[in-house]
Amino acid sequence: MTDKRIIGILTGGGDCPGLNSVIYGIMLKAFDSDTECIGIIKGWKGFMENLTMPLNIAEHDDLHTVGGTLLYTSRTNPFSSVAVAETEEKKKELEEKIAKEMAGKFDDLGIDALIAIGGDDTLGVADTICKYTDAKIIGCPKTIDNDLLGTDYTFGFWSAVQLASNSMDNLTTTARSHQRIFVVEVMGRDAGFLTIYSGISSGADIILIPETPFNLRKHVIEVLKRRVRAGHKYHIIACSEGAYPSDESLKRDFETISQETIDKLPKDTFGNPLLSKLNMSQILVSELRLNEELEKEFQQNNTNYECRSVVLGHTMRAGTPNSFDRILGLRLGLAAMKLALENKFGMMVSLRGNDIKSLPLAEGAKKKYVEKDSDIVELRNLMIKIRYKSREI
Ligand code: F6P
């Protein structure tokens, strides 16, 4: 190893706009501090398999403006075998063994320290390694879902909200022309931040998120009935990919799915159920199409009864970061590199208000959800209700 300090950088989990901005922020400070950066390819997979690429800042002018990640990404979980260990004791032993093996990789990779950029899964791996070893790791929070406890907002979130909001704004013209109900599925497996922010931003008529399980009868059918009676001719339903009905409603109101359907869903490499495979927007469309009573109500109010689903999916993660996410990414990258220079490891950088702060990975690398009693949920409820109530005679 040369005398120059060498920092490895990896990006894990789903990509999002702003990842390259963080990488560039790290590189800017590193270059100015006589530190070399090495890219580790495909997240923890590359870390385990020694897959690296040189990062020469001279070759990457304005990298912060480019979407996606230069370093590629994967959802590889080095600790995946821990979940199937038989006892808690065995789980702990295995976890410690893997953590030590992972810490040993620093020498193989020729790095002094690592900056891991990722969501709760990627940062959870970093935290577990730090729990058992003195590995020099710093975390940087990333996810378009914004569901990470250790930061007020993640970069990429506002770019994705804007994309979803624009799509829903645009869909209103075709919805209006055909007098249709559009169910728009928005990314967000476990948390509804993307759906509720983009739904409110574009004025969606019904907004369904995982944190508040919906009652098909009350929150969808009844609202549509009252809306059509109040004179509305088209309807946009923003539905989080992780939105699901309450147990009571699932049993009582659904004809096309049951609890068994949800239990049988495949899991990702971190063991999370792949709710996106459920295709909730399509299920809702199927349920609505079967609802003769609602169809009659639409006909009596001289309105077409037609439903379509649109899955925004990966279009929400695509493209360039907006200015907010570029700046946030750069600031987080700069702060992560500064922590490395100050030898403050086992920490993650974070946005708190307008300031960039840091906190232990063990505290911040956890999931966050939309709070049921937050102003954003109150706004959603008010907007949906007042649209039909204010027009009722
Ligand atoms: O990274 C978060 C996320 O975009 C979720 O909103 C979504 O459920 C998931 O990733 C999709 O993952 P993939 O790109 O692996 O299909």
Confidence grade of residue 192 (pLDDT, cut at 50, 70, 90): very high
Angle at 126 between CA 125 and CA 128, to 5 degrees: 65
Query: Does residue 150 lie within any of the structural domains?
Result: yes
pLDDT at 274: 76
- Expressed as residue numbers, the domain containing 257 is 158-317
Neighbours of 96 (CB within 10 A): 15
Same domain, 135 and 120: yes
Pocket test for ligand 1, best of 69, 144, 148, 189 (most atoms within 8 A of CB): 189
Between 336 and 86, residue with greater pLDDT? 336
For residue 170, is pLDDT > 50? Answer: yes
Report how far residue 30's alpha carbon sits from residue 17's, in angstroms, rounded to the nearest whole number.
22
* Amino acid making up residue 192: G
With tokens 């690592």, the residue in question is 114
Residue 50 has pLDDT above 70, yes or no: yes
Percent over 90 (pLDDT), the chain: 90
254 located within any domain: yes
Residue 273 sits in the same domain as residue 143: no
Decide if 378 is inside a domain.
no
- Do both 85 and 227 map to the same domain? no
195: left (phi over 0), alpha (psi -120 to 50) or beta: alpha
Pair 38, 111: CB distance under 8 Å = yes
Mutate to test the pocket of ligand 1, among 73, 145, 157, 197 (most ligand atoms within 8 A of CB): 145
Query: Do the Cβ atoms of 70 and 39 come closer than 8 Å?
Result: yes
121 is catalytic: no
Confidence of residue 1 (pLDDT cuts 50, 70, 90): very low
Whether residues 19 and 92 fall in one domain: yes
**Alpha-carbon distances, residue 289 vs 206, 254, 286 (angstroms):** 17, 12, 5
CATH number at residue 295: 3.40.50.460
Whole-angstrom CA distances from 3 to 32, 34, 195, 339 are: 16, 10, 49, 19
Domain of 102, CATH number, reads 3.40.50.450
Q: Using alpha carbons, list the distances in angstroms from residue 338 to 7, 29, 341, 363.
A: 12, 8, 5, 20
Q: Is residue 2 over pLDDT 60?
A: no
Q: What is the pTM for the complete model shown? A: 0.95
Strands 206-208 and 235-240: parallel
Query: Among 354, 353, 355, 349, which residue's Cα sits nearest to residue 334?
Result: 349
In a domain, 279, yes or no: yes
- Is residue 215 over pLDDT 60? yes
Is the model's pLDDT at 189 over the cut of 90? no
Q: Are residues 337 and 311 in the same domain?
A: no
Q: What is the mean pLDDT of residues 227-255?
A: 96
Which of 286, 317, 348 represents a domain boundary (last residue)? 317
Residue 316 CA: which ligand 1 atom is closest?
4
172 and 268 housed in the same domain: yes
Indicate whether 392 belongs to any domain.
Answer: no
- Does a structural domain hold residue 358? yes
pLDDT band with cut points at 50, 70 and 90 for residue 266: confident
Q: Are residues 181 and 304 in the same domain?
A: yes
- 202 with 332, same domain? no
Ligand 1 centroid vs 207 CA: distance in angstroms? Answer: 20
Q: Is the pLDDT of residue 278 over 90?
A: no
Q: What local confidence, expressed as pLDDT, does residue 217 receive?
A: 97
185, 310 in Cβ contact below 8 A?
A: yes
Q: Are residues 56 and 134 in the same domain?
A: yes
Helices 19-32, 323-341: axis angle to 10 degrees equals 40
62 φ/ψ angles, rounded to the nearest 5 degrees? 60, 30
Ligand 1 pocket, residue 317 CB under 6 Å: yes
pLDDT of the residue at 260:
87
CA 157 to chain centre: 8
- Give yes or no for residue 268 having a pLDDT over 80: no
Q: What is the pLDDT of residue 272?
A: 66
Q: Which residues contact 320 (CB under 8 A, 6 or more apart)?
A: 17, 65, 66, 67, 159
Identify whether 283 is part of a domain.
yes
Instruction: Tell me what pLDDT residue 129 has.
Output: 98
Residue 236: what residue type? I
Report residue 308: phi and psi, to 5°.
-135, 150
Given this model, what pLDDT does residue 267 score?
76
Cα of 12 vs centre of ligand 1, distance in Å, is 12
Q: Does 297 share its domain with 190?
A: yes
Q: What is the pLDDT of residues 97-143, one digit of tens each?
A: 999 999 999 999 999 999 999 999 999 999 999 999 999 999 999 99
pLDDT of residue 83: 85
- Is residue 371, in this structure, part of any structural domain at all? no
Domain count, the chain: 2
Which are the contacts of 392, defined by CB distance < 8 A and separation ≥ 6?
A: 226, 229, 230
Strand pairing partners for 123? none
Q: What atom in ligand 1 is closest to the CA of residue 276?
A: 8
Ligand 1 atom index nearest CA of 242: 8
Other beta carbons within 10 angstroms of residue 229's beta carbon come to 17
For residue 277, is pLDDT > 90?
Answer: no
| Alpha carbon nearest to ligand 1 atom 6, residue | 188
Sign, Cα dihedral of 184, 187, 188, 192: negative
The answer on 149 and 56 residing in a single domain is: yes
Residues 136 and 274 in one domain: no
Identify the residue with better confidence: 351 or 264. Answer: 351
Q: pLDDT tier at 247 (50, 70, 90 boundaries)?
A: very high
Other beta carbons within 10 angstroms of residue 1's beta carbon come to 9
